[in-house]
Amino acid sequence: MMHDTAETKGPRIVIALDFPDRKSALSLVNQLSPEHCRLKVGKQLFTAAGPELVRELVQRGYDIFLDLKFHDIPNTVASACRSAADLGVWMLNVHALGGKSMLEAAADAVKDSTQQRPLLIAVTLLTSLDRVDIETIGLRGSVQENVTRLAKLTADSGLDGVVCSAQEATTLKQAMGQEFILVTPGIRLQDTRSDDQVRVVTPTNAITHGSDYLVIGRPITSAPDPMNVLQKINEEIRRVK
C-alpha cells in the first residue's frame, strides 16, 4: 500500500529530533502528538539511540523520516534501505550523487518491503554547498542547474522526491510536476532568530513556493511550549491551501 501523497491528508510539519540521546528526544516527543506532526530522526540521534528508538516512535503512532542520507555502492545502499523499511519508517533518503544504479537499487529495495512502502527521497546537492564548492568537486553549471538535473535523475530512477530549499521549490515543482515530493528545511517563524540557517523562509512562504513537507527543528524544539508553536504553524499553513 502507498502512503498518502502530499496532496492528501496528514501533517506537513516534520519535526527534526536533533538531540544527543533518547531521553532528551523523548522529553520533547512526550509533549507532541502524531496527529499534528511527523518526526525526523537524523544521524546524531540515530547514532546515539539506534533503531530501538525509531521502533518505539513508530509504535507510538508517529510517521518517521529516517534522515541518514545513504551514499554507498548500490548493493550496500539497497540493504540499508531494506533495513530502514523493515523498521516501519514513513520516509528515508539517499544522496542523488550516488548515481543512477544506486538510486535504482534503493528504489527496488523499498518496493520489496514487507511493511508499508516508505517514501524514498534524494538529497540533490547539500544546501551548504555554493557555486565555488561545486566547481571544486568538478560539477559544471550553477547550483540550480545541478539541483534540477539531479532531481530529474532521481525521478527517472523511480524515487518519490527530493530535499530542497524553499528557493528551489518553485522551479522544481514546475520542472518535475505536482506528484514529485519536495521536503524543505530552513524554515523560520516570522520575527525569530535564524540560528545557523543562511537562507530561511516562513512556513507559509515554503508552502506557497511548492514545498510538500516542512522540516522544522529549533523553532519548535527550543520553544518553551513546542506544542503551542506547532499548532500555530499548522493553523498558519492550513490557511494557505
The contact set with ligand C5P (CB under 6 A) reads 16, 18, 42, 127, 163, 185-186, 195, 197, 215-219
Closest approach of ligand C5P to the CB of residue 164, in Å: 8
What residue type is 235 in one-letter code? E
Which of 23, 40, 43, 69 is an active site residue? 69
Q: Which is nearer to ligand C5P, 74 or 188 (CB)?
A: 188
Largest CA-CA distance found in the chain, in angstroms, rounded: 47
Q: Which is nearer to ligand C5P, 125 or 153 (CB)?
A: 125
What residue type is 239 in one-letter code? R
> Which residue number has the CB closest to ligand C5P?
217
Q: Which is nearer to ligand C5P, 42 or 98 (CB)?
A: 42
- Cell numbers given for 125: 546537492
Helices (H), the chain: 22-29, 43-59, 74-86, 100-111, 131-136, 143-156, 166-176, 203-209, 218-221, 226-238
Cα 154 from Cα 103, distance rounded (Å): 7
Q: Are 139 and 146 in contact (CB under 8 A)?
A: yes
Q: Which is nearer to ligand C5P, 179 or 195 (CB)?
A: 195
Which bin fits 9, alpha (ψ -120 to 50), beta or left (φ > 0)? beta
What residue type is 180 in one-letter code? F
Q: Which is nearer to ligand C5P, 118 or 219 (CB)?
A: 219
Closest approach of ligand C5P to the CB of residue 182, in Å: 12
Cα 163 from Cα 182, distance rounded (Å): 6
Closest approach of ligand C5P to the CB of residue 2, in Å: 25
Closest approach of ligand C5P to the CB of residue 199, in Å: 10
Helix (H, G, I), strand (E, B) or coil at 201: strand
Active site residue 9: no
Closest approach of ligand C5P to the CB of residue 219, in Å: 6
Which residues on adjacent β-strands are paired with residue 162? 122, 182
Which residues are the active-site residues? 69
